[in-house]
Amino acid sequence: MADKVPGTEVIEEGALLTDGEEIVAVGRRVDILSHSALARRDKEVDEAVDCAGGLLLPGLIDCHTHLVFGGDRSREFEQRLEGVSYQEISRQGGGIRSTVAATRESSEQELRSSASGRVSRMCANGVTTLEVKSGYGLTLKDEEKMLSVARSLSERLPVSIHTTFLGAHAIPEEFHEKSDDYIQLVCEEMLPSVAKQQLADSVDAFCENIAFTNQQVRQVFEKARELSLPVRLHADQLTNSGGAGLAAEFGALSADHLEYTDEAGVKALAESGTVAVLLPGAFYFLKEKQCPPVALLREHQVPMALATDCNPGSSPVDSLLLMLNMGCVMFGLTPREAVAGVTVHAAKALGLSDRGVLKPGSRADFAVFDAATLSHLCYPIGVEPPRMVVQAGCLMSPPHKLL
Ligand code: NIG
Ligand code: FE
């Protein structure tokens, strides 16, 4: 049932043994203290850290962000407060396209500096792995600029970065009414170049009536398959466009948003093993009325991840901890499902099997919170940041400074 989520068992009086970048053992404190890896050593453990009753979780994973971008969308926020819809703003040439203009004008240095601030706050919240999408460049040069900036963030901050090429995010102004030509450019020039330089770990697209059709997404996914890149999809966010089924057909790592996905779509996700990534920040900020089909996803045992969707237009938020609360209150997740959504299931959404669960052999990425139970992490609107974060075996004492 809802509270039996594999990978989320809680060990009381627990302890964790690490060596270098890896976890060696996890279990009850008494058992860990007599662990053979400790007994074998002729010297004392290098460092013993008392977590003093804290809740030790795997390092949090934000598996869906657009956190490299130029400018902001505060003007559109005001328009939306006056009643103009997100789709209408997009049709008038604003929305994603206005961030595209600002991103194209920004230098790598400017993008890196604004993104670093966001990532630094995420790290302080216990995030040790995050995904970053391109999609605000929409020319080969600008998409590659975004992906290089994204990759470089892990050189300066204690976080692993998974990059995603989202060339099919919006139809650029210069391709107005020529979206097929743009998709051709994405498939024939952008994707091969990005793949050749190993700038992206996966490929995403926005399947929606204000973006790309199923047929166009299919072309992008076929090219990705040819280049051996896994895919994910912004699916059924504003309308039911059959996005979940399309993602499943290509064995996507994840299908994201899913507010309008129907039961056939949910069943398809279950069969393909695709993770459903739920994004309560966008749901809240766009004042959506229809929730993703959580009961169906649960019934069909589709793993559910939770992410910030950090972006300037639909989800200007960088707190994954806040998403825990929003996932429970707005989407009806249990605290255990919410925590699984930012750990074990988020790792699966990124195709990463070496993290997200505390087990021998996994990366020593973890965070210690002052919380008595999983519920205490989800119930406050804005949790205290963790008192300790360890990334790849290194103790990071918050606040996180640029290295
Ligand atoms: O995930 N839906 C498409 N992409 C983003 C929004 C991007 C934007 O509005 O700038 C999302 O919500
Ligand atoms: Fe998104």
Per residue in 164-187, pLDDT tens?
999 999 999 999 999 999 999 999
For the Cβ of 219 lying below 6 angstroms from any atom of ligand 1, the answer is: no
For the Cβ of 314 lying below 6 angstroms from any atom of ligand 1, the answer is: yes
Q: How far is the CA of 327 from the centre of ligand 2 (A)?
A: 16
Write down the pLDDT at residue 398: 56
Query: Considering only CA atoms, which residue is closest to atom 5 of ligand 1?
Result: 314
For the Cβ of 94 lying below 6 angstroms from any atom of ligand 1, the answer is: no
- Could you list which residues have their CB under 5 Å from ion ligand 2? 309
The pLDDT-based confidence of 396 (bands split at 50, 70, 90) is confident
Does 400 score more than 70 pLDDT?
no
Closest of 334, 205, 200, 190 to residue 257, by C-alpha: 205
Query: Considering only CA atoms, which residue is closest to atom 8 of ligand 1?
Result: 313
Burial 199-213 (b: 16+ CB within 10 A, else e): bbbbbbbbbbebbbe
Q: How far is the CA of 178 from the centre of ligand 1 (A)?
A: 21
- Which ligand is closest to the CA of 135, given by its number? 1
Q: How far is the CA of 169 from the centre of ligand 1 (A)?
A: 8
Does 402 score more than 60 pLDDT?
no
- Which ligand is closest to the CA of 68, given by its number? 1
Query: Considering only CA atoms, which residue is closest to atom 11 of ligand 1?
Result: 314
- The position carrying tokens 């699984």 is 340
Q: Determine the Cα–Cα distance for residues 113 and 221; give it in Å rounded to an integer.
A: 32
Per domain, the residue ranges of the chain are: 2-57+358-396, 60-349
Residue 9 CB coordination number (10 Å): 10
The pLDDT-based confidence of 18 (bands split at 50, 70, 90) is very high
Burial 21-33 (b: 16+ CB within 10 A, else e): eebbbbbeeeebe
Ligand 1, pocket-test mutation among 206, 207, 233, 241, most atoms within 8 A of CB: 206
Q: How far is the CA of 234 from the centre of ligand 1 (A)?
A: 9
- The position carrying tokens 């230098």 is 107
- What mean pLDDT is reported for the chain? 94
For the Cβ of 97 lying below 6 angstroms from any atom of ligand 1, the answer is: no
Percent of the chain with pLDDT over 70: 95
Does 335 score more than 70 pLDDT?
yes
Query: Model-level pTM?
Result: 0.96
Does 360 score more than 50 pLDDT?
yes
The domains spanning 2-57+358-396 and 60-349 adopt the same CATH topology: no
Span 214-225, average pLDDT:
98
Does 300 score more than 70 pLDDT?
yes
Q: How far is the CA of 314 from the centre of ligand 1 (A)?
A: 5
Span 235-245, average pLDDT:
97
The one-letter amino acid code at 292 reads P
Q: Which two tokens stand for residue 390?
A: 């360890």
22-56 confidence digits (pLDDT tens): 999 999 999 998 887 777 665 556 678 888 889 99
Residue 39 CB coordination number (10 Å): 9
Span 296-302, average pLDDT:
98
Among 68-72, 93-97, 269-273, 299-303, name the one with the lowest average pLDDT: 93-97
For the Cβ of 232 lying below 6 angstroms from any atom of ligand 1, the answer is: no
Closest-lying ligand 1 atom to the alpha carbon of residue 90: 9
Does 351 score more than 80 pLDDT?
yes
- Which ligand is closest to the CA of 286, given by its number? 1
Q: How far is the CA of 65 from the centre of ligand 1 (A)?
A: 9
Cα radius of gyration rounded to whole Å, the chain:
21
Class in CATH terms, 60-349: alpha beta
Q: Between 3.30.360.10, 3.20.20.480, 1.25.60.10, 2.30.40.10, what CATH number should domain 2-57+358-396 receive? A: 2.30.40.10
The pLDDT-based confidence of 382 (bands split at 50, 70, 90) is confident
Closest of 402, 297, 305 to residue 60, by C-alpha: 305
For the Cβ of 86 lying below 6 angstroms from any atom of ligand 1, the answer is: no
Cβ atoms 192, 227 nearer than 8 A: yes
Write down the pLDDT at residue 2: 46
Does 8 score more than 70 pLDDT?
yes
For the Cβ of 99 lying below 6 angstroms from any atom of ligand 1, the answer is: yes
Ligand 1, pocket-test mutation among 86, 234, 284, most atoms within 8 A of CB: 234
Q: Which two tokens stand for residue 178?
A: 């020529």
Q: Determine the Cα–Cα distance for residues 243 and 344; give it in Å rounded to an integer.
A: 24
Q: Determine the Cα–Cα distance for residues 122 and 331; give it in Å rounded to an integer.
A: 22
Cβ atoms 232, 209 nearer than 8 A: no
For the Cβ of 98 lying below 6 angstroms from any atom of ligand 1, the answer is: no
153-167 confidence digits (pLDDT tens): 999 899 999 999 999
Distances (CA, A) of 233 to 114, 196, 212, 266, 269: 26, 22, 11, 14, 12
Does 403 score more than 50 pLDDT?
no
Q: How far is the CA of 338 from the centre of ligand 2 (A)?
A: 19
Q: Determine the Cα–Cα distance for residues 59 and 127; give it in Å rounded to an integer.
A: 6
